Structure 1
Amino acid sequence: MSFGPPPSPFTQSTLAAAEGKKRRTALVIGVVLALTAALCAGGWALWGGDGDTTSKPDADRARPADAIRETVETVPRTPEGGTVAEYVDKTLKEGQTASARGTWATEKIVAKGIVNVVKGFRIGDSEKVWQLKFPGPVCAVTRHVSVDGRTAVAFSGERPRKTDPGEGATAPCDRIAVFDIDTGRKLWDEKLPGEAALAMGVNVTMTRGTVVAVSGQSSVAYDMTSGRRLWTDTSVSKCADLGYAGGRGLIALVQCGDSGDPEFRIQKVAPRTGKTLWTYKVAASIKGVHLASSSPPVIAVAAGNLQSTNLIALSDDEGRQRGAIRLEGDRYVHGCDETFSAEVERCTGVVVGKRQLYMATKPREFSPETSRGLVANEIVAFDLATGNTVRKFDARPGRPMFPLRMSGDKVIAYREAATAPSAAVSLDPDSGKESILLLFGEAQRRR
């Protein structure tokens, strides 16, 4: 699954409690519907207040067990959402920090990585039902989950060590593992090839049947079920893989030349063989690239500085440029630049469907007449073939909306509200209709 919705006055503070570095005495993971919906880009279901899922299982049951999960949501029996799992870690002392990488879920379990442990909590009563411990910290994760509930993490095979007085503890990010989210059982783990890299240099993703990692200058792919190495590239050349985007397909971000004047290429890769199927050369003036989607391929490019300036859609079969979307400064909440790691599969605010791409505009300037200054915005649909705007979903004053993921041909969005209940809604790109899936917040507190 993904790491949450685009930043907003609500989601930024909520997700800060569940990801990255923790600076509070208690680490609290309260997974209410808002957070659950926000983290479902990897194919999670949504849950109602009675613990029932709103997703239609048939869509995934008809697909192979090692395919990447993509659920389709239906309107639940009741729109009232509630907390599905909560965990409080009281071991941290005031001023301490702790790494907390990765959050995943199935219909039964919410799992969370905390330093060198992944813990599984049962949906409904928050009971910890399993714990998977690694020698060293979890250092890289993928948001993707397979149809049968598997995901992958990279971790250190040794405990962190202090190198010099006053410096923080460090450990190489040198191993990769796949585990079952429902049971917490580690299915396999392998040592990453090449020289061990630190967490900032490791990227992990998944596509059907295959787990792919970049570690420093090395790229490697494993069979998802057995852990058998399928292919590897440890050669030193003027071009190096920076990372991969998985999901429906597999594309690589490749950097060539000097880091001060880089040349970037996007390559579609056959997951089982590592063969390059096509290459798209990014313009020489581009200073940075992120991968928004593997299929249809969509990339974010930064022209002139390190902030993304355009989204570019490529054809799936040949890698030719299709439509281009200008990001217009800070108008859109795309989330492509919010990373300080090797993760290139980013763009948390960009939702890509088969024909269209969706982004939210930033809420408009503060208005004292609206609820706590939250004002209206829009979710804009762009045609991938042309880059043109084809539809806008207008949010209400005080209730900005942000797209979370596709659900079949519809878009699931988070509708934020400071005083009224917030909601997970379904948006129909063809009709423009908005349908409420679940309400949470005020409705939950009234129970």
Structure 2
Amino acid sequence: MTQPPPPPPHEPSQQGGFGPPTPPAPQPGYGYPQTPQTPQTPQTPPPPGAPPTPPPPVPGYGHPQPAQPGYGYPGQTPGYGYQQPTVPMHAPSGPPPGGGGGGRKINAQVAIIVSAVVAIALIIGGGVWYARSSDEPGGKDDTAGSTGGTTGTTGTTGSTGGDAKGGTSAGGEEKVPADPASKVLFQVPAPEVSKDDNSVVVSGSWATDTVYAKSGIAEITGYDPGKGTELWTVPLDGPVCTATRHVTDDNLTAVVYQPDMPTKADPSHGCSQVAVIDLGTGKKVWTKTAKTGDQLISFDNVTLSGGTVAAGSTSGGVAWDIASGKQLWAPKGTDSCYDAGYGGGPKLVAVRKCGTYEARQLGIQTIDPGTGKVLSEYKMAKGIEYAGIVSTDPLVVAADVGDSAGDGSGISDFFSVDNKTGELRTRISAPGEKFAARCDTISRIEQCTGLVVGNDRLYLPTEEHEGGGESYSRTNEVVAFDLSTGKQTGQRADAGDGYTITPLRMDGDSILAYKRPPYDKGGQIVSIDSGSFEESKLLENPATEAVRDVETSMLPEYAEILYRKGRLYMSQVYASEPSGTDDKEYLAVAFGTGG
């Protein structure tokens, strides 16, 4: 079943062609952060229970809204291209669990797998991941790319802030324009989806100096970053399942996709194809698969680090050299542990699982990307079933200890770990009712959204709460935690009455953040100085109703957002059949200041 490619984007003659989406469900108030905990050894929690069945997807809004529930994963209908995650339920046969060893190994009989459809909502989780800025240790590993969370930079604390007239944000590359007012640069119409398809995964977007690239239905298309003109299309045999946010110096990235198009009779062919895409030329460099026994491995996640493509699954992890496609390691039947997934960027970190479902032991291993050799390991308390990699340098891990978050966010605590020794530096308590970040710790190990790591600090948004204005409104803040002590620094960036703020990525020493607007304003991109926490406005979108309707259908909770060199790109992670209205629907929209 071949889907037609989406029609080419067009430059808007006016801003009234956008169709309004429906309002989302309301959100409850929040409590301000409590005094963070001092470093401690994690206590052994009871095994986490299966998350509840998610609600239907939540579209954007364009008008005033009632109080909204705390940040949980937005429910989504599973689209074609998504491999339903699996959960090991029984202990593997063979020797008792070990610590992970020096190579990437797995017992072929590691577990009996059952479908965990309830994890589908966790896959989207906002889909808003951003790459490190180019001045991070290890060189320019990333340009702006979006499929999940945010790894931040390490650097000095404090800076002078951006100049109000064309300066740059503190230590970064993003300029503060004389006039931040933006205009719509282009829109990419939503691809056609049949009723039989229901919805199709289209996650994955990247922005470089020369291209904005976005996954469509069984294809990836590159557009001129300012005009939206189609530059190239890479066809795929089936829908994209997942993609890395990372991009190499020479513009290579990686995706996982299905080997064929789903049909009603055969709705999934597994996520077995790993491909490297050249975003500069619009070519597929190579496609690889791997087997455990005589079965193709279906991958849950993929990342890049140090010239290596690494993909994890419940069958174990596989890695390839990004340039040649040579396989570097694969699962073996001599160990009872397996690599569930990897975090990439400046370092390569594996989440290695040992033991049974009810007595799991997770090892957070910093590994050599060329050989898979374990350089250091932090063993989490037994019983913690899932963990997400927030950042690999400095190493920050998120987990829902004892299933205590209570909001579906996947986060109750953050663990700051020393990469060199594997020792715990500190543990940070982040109650779900107080903080708005989230992680898909079940399958997409690297997909933690709405938070940033940089300057040896963790920057977290608080949950929404009532604003201070005379009229009803909602707002929140961004606060900072020291990764060496676990304590809050006392810094706070207020979103402003009627706005809610979400960190996107680091730009030098500064934090880039998106501000969701009130019903009568346009969204904003701001730069937050890491020393003073003063904000500089980099971009503000038009406040017309038609533009707001489209913008608020692509908010951080359930879409992908990229900001690069004065341009804001917002895109969907699912393509669905038309809603039945005459309103136009879009796969992506771009805004720019033109300065």
User: What TM-score does the superposition give when structure 2 sets the normalisation length?
Assistant: 0.61
Residue aligned with 2:248, SS: coil
Q: How does 1:20-35 map to 2 (within 5 A)?
A: none
Check the 8 A contact 1:241/1:254 in 2, yes or no: yes
2:355 to 254, 257, 275: 257
Residue aligned with 1:393, SS: strand
Letter in 2 for 1:421: G
Check the 8 A contact 1:296/1:354 in 2, yes or no: no
Q: Deviation digits for residues 221-270 of structure 1, max 9, x if unmatched?
A: 22222222233333352211110000111111111111232111110111
Q: Could you say which residue in structure 2 is the equivalent of 1:86?
A: 187
Q: Could you say which residue in structure 2 is the equivalent of 1:50?
A: none
Q: Could you say which residue in structure 2 is the equivalent of 1:183?
A: 281
Question: What's the Cα RMSD here?
Answer: 3.3
Q: Could you say which residue in structure 2 is the equivalent of 1:105?
A: 207
Q: Shift in Å at residue 161 of structure 1?
A: 5.7
Q: Shift in Å at residue 343 of structure 1?
A: 0.7
Check the 8 A contact 1:151/1:178 in 2, yes or no: yes
Check the 8 A contact 1:85/1:121 in 2, yes or no: no
* CA distance, structure 2, for counterparts of residue 8 and residue 290 of structure 1: 27
Q: How does 1:42-191 map to 2 (within 5 A)?
A: 42-43=131-132, 59=135, 67-69=141-143, 72-89=173-190, 91-93=192-194, 96-160=198-262, 169-191=267-289
* CA distance, structure 2, for counterparts of residue 72 and residue 12 of structure 1: 34
Q: Deviation digits for residues 401-426 of structure 1, max 9, x if unmatched?
A: 11111111110111222223321111
Letter in 2 for 1:395: A
Q: Could you say which residue in structure 2 is the equivalent of 1:4?
A: none
Residue 404 (structure 1) aligned with residue 507 (structure 2)? no
Check the 8 A contact 1:192/1:215 in 2, yes or no: no
Residue aligned with 1:218, SS: coil
Residue aligned with 2:184, SS: coil
Q: Deviation digits for residues 284-324 of structure 1, max 9, x if unmatched?
A: 24243111111111111222127421111111211211122
* CA distance, structure 2, for counterparts of residue 178 and residue 385 of structure 1: 37
Residue range with higher mean Cα deviation, 74-83 or 249-258: 74-83
Check the 8 A contact 1:85/1:123 in 2, yes or no: no
Gaps of 5+ in 1: 1-6, 24-37, 45-56
Q: Could you say which residue in structure 1 is the equivalent of 2:475?
A: 376
Q: 1:110 to 1:85 in 2, by over 3 A?
A: farther
* CA distance, structure 2, for counterparts of residue 8 and residue 439 of structure 1: 25
Q: Could you say which residue in structure 1 is the equivalent of 2:296?
A: 196
Residue aligned with 2:464, SS: coil
* CA distance, structure 2, for counterparts of residue 155 and residue 117 of structure 1: 10
Q: Could you say which residue in structure 2 is the equivalent of 1:275?
A: 373
Q: Deviation digits for residues 129-171 of structure 1, max 9, x if unmatched?
A: 2111122222221111223322101123344366xx6xx5110
Q: Could you say which residue in structure 1 is the equivalent of 2:308?
A: 210
* CA distance, structure 1, for counterparts of residue 328 and residue 364 of structure 2: 21
* CA distance, structure 1, for counterparts of residue 25 and residue 176 of structure 2: 25
* CA distance, structure 2, for counterparts of residue 294 and residue 64 of structure 1: 14
Q: Deviation digits for residues 73-120 of structure 1, max 9, x if unmatched?
A: 222354122334421135224573222121222123222222321122
1:244 to 342, 364, 381: 342
Q: 1:120 to 1:298 in 2, by over 3 A?
A: same
User: What TM-score does the superposition give when structure 1 sets the normalisation length?
Assistant: 0.80
Q: 1:332 to 1:369 in 2, by over 3 A?
A: same
Q: Could you say which residue in structure 2 is the equivalent of 1:41?
A: 130
Q: Bigger radius of gyration, 1 or 2? A: 2
Q: Could you say which residue in structure 2 is the equivalent of 1:321?
A: 424
Q: Shift in Å at residue 395 of structure 1?
A: 2.4
Letter in 1 for 2:356: D
* CA distance, structure 2, for counterparts of residue 243 and residue 77 of structure 1: 44
Residue range with higher mean Cα deviation, 431-440 or 77-86: 77-86
Q: Could you say which residue in structure 2 is the equivalent of 1:305?
A: 403
Q: 1:93 to 1:343 in 2, by over 3 A?
A: same
Q: 1:217 to 1:90 in 2, by over 3 A?
A: closer
Q: Shift in Å at residue 365 of structure 1?
A: 3.9
Residue aligned with 1:170, SS: coil
* CA distance, structure 2, for counterparts of residue 368 and residue 261 of structure 1: 50
Check the 8 A contact 1:214/1:242 in 2, yes or no: yes
Residue aligned with 1:188, SS: strand
Check the 8 A contact 2:241/2:256 in 1, yes or no: yes
Residue 284 (structure 1) aligned with residue 387 (structure 2)? no
Residue range with higher mean Cα deviation, 99-108 or 152-161: 152-161
Structure with the largest fraction of strand: 1
* CA distance, structure 2, for counterparts of residue 243 and residue 329 of structure 1: 24
Q: 1:306 to 1:256 in 2, by over 3 A?
A: farther
Residue aligned with 1:415, SS: strand
Residue 430 (structure 1) aligned with residue 519 (structure 2)? no
Number of residue pairs matched?
401
Q: 1:9 to 1:246 in 2, by over 3 A?
A: farther
Check the 8 A contact 2:274/2:287 in 1, yes or no: yes
* CA distance, structure 1, for counterparts of residue 258 and residue 195 of structure 2: 26
Q: Which has the higher contact order (CA 8 A, sep 6+)?
A: 2
Check the 8 A contact 1:68/1:248 in 2, yes or no: no
* CA distance, structure 2, for counterparts of residue 417 and residue 300 of structure 1: 29
* CA distance, structure 2, for counterparts of residue 347 and residue 445 of structure 1: 28
Q: 1:68 to 1:421 in 2, by over 3 A?
A: closer
Q: 1:193 to 1:77 in 2, by over 3 A?
A: farther
* CA distance, structure 1, for counterparts of residue 533 and residue 283 of structure 2: 44
Q: Could you say which residue in structure 1 is the equivalent of 2:109?
A: none
* CA distance, structure 2, for counterparts of residue 229 and residue 84 of structure 1: 42
Residue range with higher mean Cα deviation, 147-156 or 215-224: 215-224
* CA distance, structure 2, for counterparts of residue 134 and residue 264 of structure 1: 35
Residue 362 (structure 1) aligned with residue 460 (structure 2)? no
* CA distance, structure 1, for counterparts of residue 402 and residue 288 of structure 2: 40
Q: Shift in Å at residue 381 of structure 1?
A: 0.5
Q: Could you say which residue in structure 2 is the equivalent of 1:48?
A: none
Q: Could you say which residue in structure 1 is the equivalent of 2:329?
A: 231
Gaps of 5+ in 2: 1-23, 28-56, 62-72, 81-126, 145-171, 406-410, 549-592
Check the 8 A contact 1:79/1:439 in 2, yes or no: yes
Check the 8 A contact 2:331/2:338 in 1, yes or no: no
Q: 1:433 to 1:336 in 2, by over 3 A?
A: same
Share of identical aligned residues, percent? Answer: 31
Check the 8 A contact 1:175/1:189 in 2, yes or no: yes
Q: Shift in Å at residue 68 of structure 1?
A: 3.1
Q: 1:228 to 1:9 in 2, by over 3 A?
A: farther
